[in-house]
Amino acid sequence: MSPFTVGIIGIIVTLLLLLCGLPIGISMILVGFLGFSYLVNIEAAFHIISTVPYALISNYDWLVLPLFLLMGTVLFRAGLGTSLFNLANSVFGRLPGGLSIAALGACGIFAAVSASSIATAVTIGTSAIPEMRRHNYDSGLATGCIAAGGTLGFLIPPSTILIIYGIITETSISKLFMAGVIPGIILTTMFMIMVYIRIRLNPSLAPRGPSTTMREKLQAASECLEVLVLIALVLGGLFIGWFTPTEAGGIAAFGSIVVSLARKKLNWQKFKDSVADAVKSTGMIFLCAIGAFIMIPFIAVSTLPMEMAGRIVDLGIYPTIALVFIILLYFILGCFIDTMAMVLLTVPIFFPLIVNLGYDPIWFGILIALLVEMAMITPPIGMNVYVIAGVAKDVPMETIFKGIFPFVVTLALFIVIIVVFPQLATFLPSILK
Amino acid sequence: MSLLCLSPLITTPAVRNCLVKRSRKGYNVPSWLKFLVIKGPLIIASVALLTMMMIVAVHVIGRALFNVPLFGGVELISLSGVFLISFGLAYAQWERVHISIELMIRRLPQRFQLAFAVSSLATSLLATALLAWGGVVLVWDAVVKPGSYTLILHLPSVPFKVVWVVGCITLWAYFAYHLIEALRTEREK
């Protein structure tokens, strides 16, 4: 059997093991180990399994992840999302569907302190959904906008997906974070505009809220001033070059604890819970990462990415067509596979291919983040939808999926925009020090 | 490959009954030991995470305000990471949050669901045993090879590698515990 065939079989077996309910990390450890043993020898495979995991867990760069996760969990448990929602509501509340637009704005801001899409959706959803329901907003709109808004957590820095992508592909995490800013702002704005247009066309979906005075706006801003300062400090420091990503994560986590304590929103129980949440997520992500890093040498010796790139060149397929095929594959995989598994399994295969085809690695990272966002809200898995269904228990799942459809279309449109105008992602990193 | 072949063996009735019987003997476990087993990994990982955060804060603030970064700060952060991740992996399994796809399994009858759960846990047990064995080899190499120290602080690397092995063994033990639980449920059904 040629290494290429073994590589293909390895990927298929991994997918089958995943569908049988085996943890993603474990599936990749086994397939990586067995595949490498077959293609090279068992001694080399044992060498990988003994050295790679320890090298990974003691890698300074990877530790950015638990620190940003801690920041997100602390702010989530401290309930600072409500203050952000109140601020956004004071600005956008008077517009038709103002609460939905405010919720999207709050999701965008919270995404800048949380590395997680689910944390963003739950934090803002907990305060925004009851408020929208109280004002007779359409259930689909109320839940759909939070589920979609939550996905901004994967695009707006700090983002778990961008960190993982950066480490797997050895792309600068700072540059990836910077690349996520403009697309993040544009996508948030597009979501807001879409909601506004929908409500202008069908005013029964949501009423217009009361306007607020400048004093009320300032008061709402003062309620979450420290969080805004923290965002500016952490992301600003990272972009200017004051901190490494790991240092930014540490300062962010430390700052979030200080801010929550200063606001008297963090007691001992909440603190313990937030640390436990961060530890849990860390363990969860690192098992996948260990699996991926044991699988990567197998993928490399199978020559799968290089052969695929070679065959595309030989067949004379345009790079754009190859890219469209990859996007469609991600879209399909996203419907059935967990987002983390999707990234860890596919990026080592497609990244060399994309680079060979002449695409920018940073731009591809942003594209992956957008495709992951899409996967978070498309049926049947659509993790964010399930999370929101837990927050709004009386809203049927079909209603949430219906409510989310316009956001999926908007996201798809934005993916087209980012493919046509890659500069939206590459401009800021190009001016990074 | 032989390790993987053992996985169906664990799900055979004879082995299954034996495992379940053993787990039902009801050993008198002291409460402190129970606490240590259940909360130990979480406490160690939490302390490591907070230590890591504090080291980063001291390192950055020292550098920014006094131009004196913490000596060996980067290395201390990395070493804290070893504790955090080694025990974080185990804690995530205790909470059963390791990512898996249950989309297909959930649609199957309960009996098949349990069978899949048992096979999946048995396979996980083998994979973690493999990881732990790899860790033991790593520790042995560090013990045998002279001069296995960290680069900046010159701390011996062996204890940290041992922590990784202990983390793997804890993860293995949690998988084993959940396997026994699954077998017990299967027998009761």
pLDDT in tens, B124-176: 999 999 999 999 999 999 888 877 888 888 899 999 999 999 999 999 999 99
Distance from C-alpha of B39 to C-alpha of A13, rounded to nearest angstrom: 36
Contact between chains at A341 and B95 (C-beta distance less than 8 A): no
pLDDT of residue A280: 93
Distances in Å between the Cα of A384 and the Cα atoms of A72, A143, B35, B107 are 17, 10, 34, 21
Which residue on chain A is closest to B57 by alpha carbon?
A: A251
Among A59, A165, A321, A377, residue whose Cα is nearest residue B79: A59
Picking from B53, B87, B120, the nearest residue to A253 by CB comes out as: B53
Contact between chains at B103 and A19 (C-beta distance less than 8 A): yes
Residue B4 has pLDDT above 50, yes or no: no
Residue A270 has pLDDT above 80, yes or no: yes
Q: Which range among A17-26, A273-282, A324-333 has the greatest average pLDDT?
A: A273-282
Determine contact: A129 vs chain B, CB below 8 A. Answer: no
Q: Which residues in chain B have Cβ-Cβ distances shorter than 8 Å to A167?
A: none
Among A247, A355, A277, A289, residue whose Cα is nearest residue A56: A289
Write the pLDDT tens digit of every residue in B67-107. 889 999 999 999 999 999 999 999 999 999 888 877 778 88
Write the pLDDT tens digit of every residue in B31-68. 888 788 888 999 999 999 999 999 999 999 999 888 88
Write the pLDDT tens digit of every residue in A301-321. 998 888 887 887 788 778 888
Number of A–B residue contacts, CB under 8 Å: 197
Q: Which residues pair with B156 in a beta bridge?
A: B149
Residue A363 has pLDDT above 50, yes or no: yes
Q: What is the DSSP letter of A2?
A: -
Among A133, A80, A42, A158, residue whose Cα is nearest residue A388: A133
Q: Which residues in chain A have Cβ-Cβ distances shorter than 8 Å to B105?
A: 20-21
Average of pLDDT values for A324-344? 86
Which residue on chain B is closest to A38 by alpha carbon?
A: B1
Distance from C-alpha of B44 to C-alpha of B170, rounded to nearest angstrom: 12
Average pLDDT value over all residues in chain A: 90
B147 versus A286: which is more confidently predicted? A286
Contact between chains at A26 and B128 (C-beta distance less than 8 A): yes
Q: Measured at the alpha carbon of residue A12, what is the angle toward residues A8 and A16, in degrees to the nearest 5?
A: 170
Chain centroid to CA B175: how far? 9
A33 versus A386: which is more confidently predicted? A33
Determine contact: A24 vs chain B, CB below 8 A. Answer: yes
Picking from A34, A275, A290, the nearest residue to B49 by CB comes out as: A275
Distance from C-alpha of B24 to C-alpha of B50, rounded to nearest angstrom: 38
By three-state DSSP, how is residue A96 classified? strand
For helices A397-420 and A319-336, angle between their N-to-C axes, nearest 10 degrees: 160
End-to-end CA distance of chain B: 32
Q: Which residues in chain B have Cβ-Cβ distances shorter than 8 Å to A292?
A: none
pLDDT of residue B7: 42
Which residue on chain A is closest to B108 by alpha carbon?
A: A20
Picking from B45, B49, B116, the nearest residue to A20 by CB comes out as: B116
Contact between chains at B134 and A53 (C-beta distance less than 8 A): yes
Note whether ipTM > 0.90 here.
Answer: no
